[in-house]
Amino acid sequence: MAGLPKKYAKLGFKKGWKAFKASKRTTKRKTKSTRTRSSKVSNVRRRKSNGFKGLFGTALGAMAYGAGREMISTKLEPITMKIPAGEVADEVVMGALSYAMMKGKIPFIKNFPISREIGKAGFYIEMARIGNYLADNVKLNAVNTGSGSVPNSALQVTVF
């Protein structure tokens, strides 16, 4: 009959079996396998271009956006008419299109390396145009209350 060895039997039933099982357990060391990359692969990755980055890419994207904006804007005119944004509806539509292009959400176009730069430049241009419109047509008139600070209730918004 296979029982508990004498060495562990003298500890008692519960403690003896616990010590016996602990001695039989083997802990396996967890190791992570590391993959080494050859210098040739690293150099190729370093040389690989990630599209058009920097000032040159931004300038090239802005030029491409400026060249094609009017043509695309006229093709999107039916959508522009449905948006209740007043005079800035064209900027809103073109800004949304530029945002989608910047994020790579437009199929086929996102495969071109410069498409994200064009989208980024277009988004900035459209936001600047909306900001210019707001600066020209929305003015905050502060009512003089006699104190140094202007309370929130004293601000009046005038839209032309």
Residue 67 resides in a domain: yes
The vertex-11 CA angle with 7 and 16, nearest 5°, equals 80
Q: What percent of the chain has pLDDT over 90?
A: 31
If one compares 28 and 91, the residue with the highest pLDDT of the two is 91
Element (H, E) at 140: strand 138-142
Residue 28 resides in a domain: no
Residue 78 resides in a domain: yes
**pLDDT tens per residue across span 45-57:** 555 555 567 888 8
φ/ψ of residue 84, rounded to 5: -85, 60
Residue 147 resides in a domain: no
Q: How many domains does the chain have?
A: 1
Dihedral sign for Cα 119, 122, 126, 128, please.
Answer: positive
Distance of CA 44 to the CA centre of its chain: 27
Banded model confidence at residue 148, pLDDT cuts 50, 70, 90: low
Residue 38 resides in a domain: no
Q: Which domain holds residue 93?
A: 51-142
Average pLDDT of the segment spanning 6-10: 84
Residue 77 resides in a domain: yes
Q: What percent of the chain has pLDDT over 70?
A: 71
Banded model confidence at residue 1, pLDDT cuts 50, 70, 90: very low
* pTM, full prediction: 0.56
Q: What is the pLDDT of residue 149?
A: 54
Residue 3 resides in a domain: no
Q: What is the pLDDT of residue 108?
A: 85
Residue 30 resides in a domain: no
Distance of CA 104 to the CA centre of its chain: 11
